[in-house]
Amino acid sequence: MNSPHPLESFQFCPKCGSPRFVIHNFKSKKCEACEFVYYFNSSAATAAFIFDSNGRLLIAKRAHEPAKGTLDLPGGFVDLHETAETAIQREILEETGLIVDHPQYLFSLPNIYRYSNFDVHTVDLFFQCQINDLSHLRADDDVAELFFLEMEAIQPELFGLNSIQKAVRLFRL
């Protein structure tokens, strides 16, 4: 692995603030002062495959870093106390103005999302989403632009995030 382990960035116990926060094992640190053990786990994120009536895929252009200006699928992080299905519905509404009727889970892929000079490890959950009304389509939130592309015209290498590139390749098979 080329980058340092994410736990190296955490120098103080998040519970008591002690600097006696040491490596416990490959995925955790333990506070020698209060005995709190912090496990570094993946964050959950979602992404959607949405098609129009002509079978074209909805593509987003990223408005912010990481990978600003590259292609993406609509989606985002799962909030606390939220299911993945609720998260994909919320994210699609926030980013596109569209209402998802029935999100259908497809597969998941691990990813590393570089944010504020920190590697956020994610497990990205991919859905195919049914949209009955595309008339409210608009780019908003983290999206600079939205457009539809024929599947044959999609170039996976133009997508800025590794998991999205892989997902597009898998979905095209």
* DSSP calls for 131-143: -S--TT----TTE
Range(s) within the chain of domains with CATH label 3.90.79.10 = 43-172
| Tens-place pLDDT, residues 84-122 | 999 999 999 999 999 998 899 999 999 998 888 888 899
Q: What percent of the chain has pLDDT over 90?
A: 86
Helices (H), 112-158: none
Average pLDDT of the chain to the nearest whole number: 94
43-172: which CATH topology?
Answer: Nucleoside Triphosphate Pyrophosphohydrolase (3.90.79)
- Do 120 and 44 touch, CB atoms closer than 8 A? no
| Amino acid present at 151 | M
Measured between its terminal Cα atoms, the distance across the chain in Å is: 29
- Do 157 and 67 touch, CB atoms closer than 8 A? no
Environment class of residue 87 by beta-carbon count within 10 Å: exposed (0-12), middle (13-18) or buried (19+)?
Answer: buried
Predicted confidence pLDDT, tens digits, the chain (173 residues): 456 678 888 999 999 999 999 999 989 999 999 999 999 999 999 999 999 999 999 999 999 999 999 999 999 999 999 999 999 999 999 999 999 988 999 999 999 988 888 888 999 999 999 898 999 999 999 999 999 999 999 999 999 999 999 999 999 86
Give 83's contacts (C-beta < 8 A, 6+ positions apart).
none
